Amino acid sequence: MIEPTQILLFTIIAILTIILLFIGWQIYQILEEIRKMLTKFNLMIDDARNFTDTIGKSVHSLNGFTEGVRAVLKVLTTFKRDKTKDGNRSK
């Protein structure tokens, strides 16, 4: 015959098994959410990197443009100085 301690032991083991299955399912759900969150975070980081690359290229292009403007202004000021020097000599 089955003794009361055996019934109690079987009941406790069954309850603990059900609780562990529930905890395992919850851990699985949490890990699934973490995976989704990390995927979204990775996409955000990729978008931020693309944005900063675009900004960097724009700044680089702007730098080239300003260097060109400086060169033109330098040439113009050189011509202006030469013109003023020539004007002073002829007097």
Q: What is the pLDDT of residues 42-74, one digit of tens each?
A: 999 999 999 988 888 888 788 888 888 888 888
* CA distances to 46, 65, 89 from 52, in Å: 10, 20, 55
Instruction: Quote the tokens at residue 82.
Output: 């030469």
Say if residue 78's pLDDT is above 90.
no
How does residue 90 score in pLDDT terms, banded at 50, 70 and 90? low
Say if residue 35's pLDDT is above 90.
yes
The Cα 63–Cα 54 span in angstroms is 14
Instruction: Quote the tokens at residue 55.
Output: 């900004």
Say if residue 89's pLDDT is above 70.
no
- Give the start-end residues of each E strand in the chain: none
Radius of gyration, CA atoms only, the chain:
39
Question: SS3 of 91, please?
Answer: coil
| Residue at 45: amino acid letter | I
